[in-house]
Amino acid sequence: MSESEQNKNKKWHSTEVESVLDKLKTSADDGLTEDEVQERLEEYGENKIPEKKKRSALMRLLLHFHNVLIYVLIAAAGVTALMEHWIDTFVILAVVIVNATIGYIQEGKAEKALESIRKMLSLEALVVRGGKRQKINAEQIVPGDIVHLRSGDKIPADIRIVQAKNFRVEESPLTGESTDVSKTSDPVEEKAVIGDRKSMAYSGTMVTYGTATGVVVSTGTNTEIGKITEMISDVEKITTPLLQTIDKFALKLSIFILIFASAFFAFGYFFRDYELVELFLATIGVIVASIPEGLPAIMTITLAIGVQRMAKRNAIIRRLPSVETLGSVSVICSDKTGTLTRNEMTAKTVLTLDNEYEVEGSGYKPEGKIKKDDTEVAVGEEPVLERLMQCIRACNDASLDKKDDGEWKLEGTPTEGSLITLSYKAGLDDFTPKRIDDIPFESEHKYMATLNEIDGKRFVFLKGAPETLLEKCSKQAMADGDEDIDQDFWKERMDNVAERGQRVMAAAYREEKDSKDSIDHEDVEKDLVFLGLIGIIDPPRDEVYDAIEECKEAGIRVIMITGDHAITAKAIAKDLGIDDGKKSITGAELEEMDDEKLSEAAMEYNVFARTSPEHKLRLVKALQKNNKLCAMTGDGVNDAPALKRANIGIAMGIKGTEVSKDAAEMVLADDNFATIVNAVEEGRTVYDNIRKTILFILPTNGAEALVLVAAIVMGITMPITPAQILWVNMVTAVTLALSLAFEPMEKRVMELPPRDPDEPILGKYFLWRIFYVSVLIGGFTLLLYRIMRTGGLDLDSARTIAVNTIVAGQVFYLLNCRKFHETIFTREFFGNAYVFIAVGALIVFQLIFTYAPFMNTLFGTSPVDAMNWLYVAAAGLIVLFIVEMEKLAARSISSMNKKSKYAKSN
């Protein structure tokens, strides 16, 4: 194993600094020599993500032709070209090209996930080489380089901290954590997940406070962000359930058409006295009649309409078939921070010795009451509470500003923001005591202290970690004076607040007897008065509660996958109704599981905490192994591999990184989890409308094929020609079928469970309907043709009536298809105006087809008398009422079966 491979597998976070420097053969004071740098550049390569060759625009266009049904259509075009039926050829090819072009334009935004990650890398870095500090291009950094970091720097590589002073790093793009984290040089446990590796600073994250010196341990693709890049590259794209279903349907339809056409040819050849060429042309006519040429284009347009509908509801779809996938998902894996929660720390609980207070409101908007026992309190009448509020207001470097648009903006850390917002709610927004001196927060001391002057008196205020402040306090504050501190009491209260998933902060103070002008750590080591505890949480979004409840009603399971601590995750999950909050599983536990055990855990647990990007990806795969259609929401770089692997990845539009957006199929423009529910409704509606379209189009093809077959069996002249067949197929598809794409959602669509991905697009019942409607329309067409021919009407006129009979049957059958099972005769009959616009347009087309001289020449048609239109309309009306009667009978049978099952169960 090479040295670079050995370094790649090292647990740097758990190794002592001296050992790290020794293994990397470098010095904290002098760094590497130029010769060593060159050697390592050759061994490790530059500190950048290799660019992947992109697909050309032509290749992306050609991929839209990669579909079984498209192949059938291209074959049909080839056959008609051999027959020199050029009109048929050009019409079919036009359909294919239009279909591919629409898909290409709609999905034209190329994936940029890898490019976005590359942009996250630092441009320059301050390093020590040969004992001298120098700024270099970040791409030239190698393992063993000594790097100096300060507030505002973007970290250029994965770095093991050597020295740190008040060093804090914002890692939310990588870990999902909502607050910046303190870093030290102390090693951590070997099994610690990324969010707990306090001794490491990772490439692509940002320094928010303090300074540090570190040694580079990983560069390029060996960094954590580089590993994510490799995962994105390696992740297998999942075919959407719609494409899977349509591919199966197209394959079965193609096989059926070929078998049917072969049987038709054999019958004509062996049992009828047709010439071989004539029989061959008739067989081609059957094939052309059986292929639904307009279906791919209609499907694409229906999906595109769904995209537009979703965009109006703040859900932006990047890949067309993903529209329908949303309606099929059975599990939504959601990141907690910024997705289920606001990503704005909020104080929710205040504890003093005598009382517990609840704080209303969320985020940094200083609106909300402070209550005790459900009653609003006046802070001025609660002396201990008032002093605590003064403490967190004075001992605070954050500020809140109200913008012109009425929104409040925080300047400072999220934790301090939550405390200053709390003080504003207590009415202390104008409380600005003079600050004489302060002790800044340092990770090794875990507190901040200030010396302030209030009404001529001087006070020391402290805020920080409860366990640290308790050690410094000898007294605890009471309304009528101070008493000796009860350490056990406060530790019990700390545990109680922590169990609610809240981060606990403490406040303490001391009134100074003399007028001192400065403070240091020794001044705050003892004799302080403990004021109380503050519970802080990143609160759930208000609208998420209803969204999760709707997901449950729709049979969709919601799983929380987060980098946050288990106790916090369980509390949020319980609050939102995701789980009962009793159990969760951590990233460390997942590390110990093989794929089989993980597959079981994925079905048992709804809360996954302290997870890394690899865990999220494994969880998505485990759910898919259990035949679950999985959606993944997220906003950080860490979510990108799982977003890409999931059946549908959902990124946040406002707070989401470009990496997550480019890896996802859908982007929420408002970062609102509730928008997912709207998108699921639209997804289910789109799938229903595609099924309605297929249910409508296929009887046209069936009727045409049956007419031709019957003519061969009966030994009569063909009632319709191939060109006329193409005309019917195209005008009904373009006008009538397209109107079904605008059908609104049917009742109970969100009360049904997600559909089985293996479920055929048309079940036995709908196949039965397609068969008998084909027989009805084909039968009436053949009947009217025979009546007209027997009555002495010429061939062209009889064929014109036959074509119009098929079209009339389709017009009235279109109304039937608007509802799968329910009657169409309801108050919603005129609910889709596009249906009636389409019918009007089709009537105009058919009048032109029948009476325009150039159409008579092109398609072999002839003008017909007005009386003949009555026969045509009557045939269509009969189809309408027969199908409605059949739906009524089916509903009655279904109702009786349900009653029978209920009676047996009782």
Distance CA 126, CA 212 (A): 11
Q: Which of 335, 635, 639, 671 is catalytic?
A: 335
Distance CA 547, CA 868 (A): 56
What is the DSSP code string of 378-441? -GGG-HHHHHHHHHHHHS---EEEE-TTS-EEEES-HHHHHHHHHHHHTT-TT--PEEEEEE--
Q: Taking Cα atoms as reference points, which of 185, 128, 137, 152 lies closest to residue 12?
A: 185
Distance CA 300, CA 738 (A): 10
Describe the strand order of the beta sheet including 315-317 as a list of residue ranges: 315-317, 666-668, 648-652, 630-634, 331-335, 557-561, 607-609, 585-586
The letter for the amino acid at 304 is A
What is the DSSP code string of 475-506? EEEETTEEEE--HHHHHHHHHHHHTTTPEEEE
Q: Strand 181-182 to strand 158-170: parallel, antiparallel, or no bridges (unpaired)?
A: antiparallel
Contact 179, 345 (CB under 8 A): yes
For residue 97, give every residue at least 6 positions away whose Cβ sits within 8 Å of its Cβ, in sequence order, or none: none
What is the DSSP code string of 527-560? -EEEEEEEEEE-PBPTTHHHHHHHHHHTT-EEEE
204's torsion region: left (phi>0), alpha (psi -120 to 50) or beta? left
Contact 396, 416 (CB under 8 A): yes
Contact 557, 604 (CB under 8 A): no
Alpha helices in 274-382 (DSSP H): 276-290, 295-312, 322-326
DSSP single-letter state for residue 154: B
The letter for the amino acid at 346 is T
Contact 425, 388 (CB under 8 A): no
Distance CA 296, CA 73 (A): 10
* 3 state DSSP class of 370: strand
**How many other β-carbons are positioned within 10 Å of the β-carbon of residue 136?**
16
- Give the angle 861-866-872 at the CA atoms, nearest 5°: 70
User: Is 527 among the catalytic positions?
Assistant: no
The letter for the amino acid at 244 is Q
Q: Taking Cα atoms as reference points, which of 29, 337, 90 lies closest to residue 858?
A: 90
Cα four-point dihedral sign 111, 645, 325, 334: negative
766's torsion region: left (phi>0), alpha (psi -120 to 50) or beta? alpha
Distance CA 256, CA 250 (A): 10
What residues act catalytically? 335
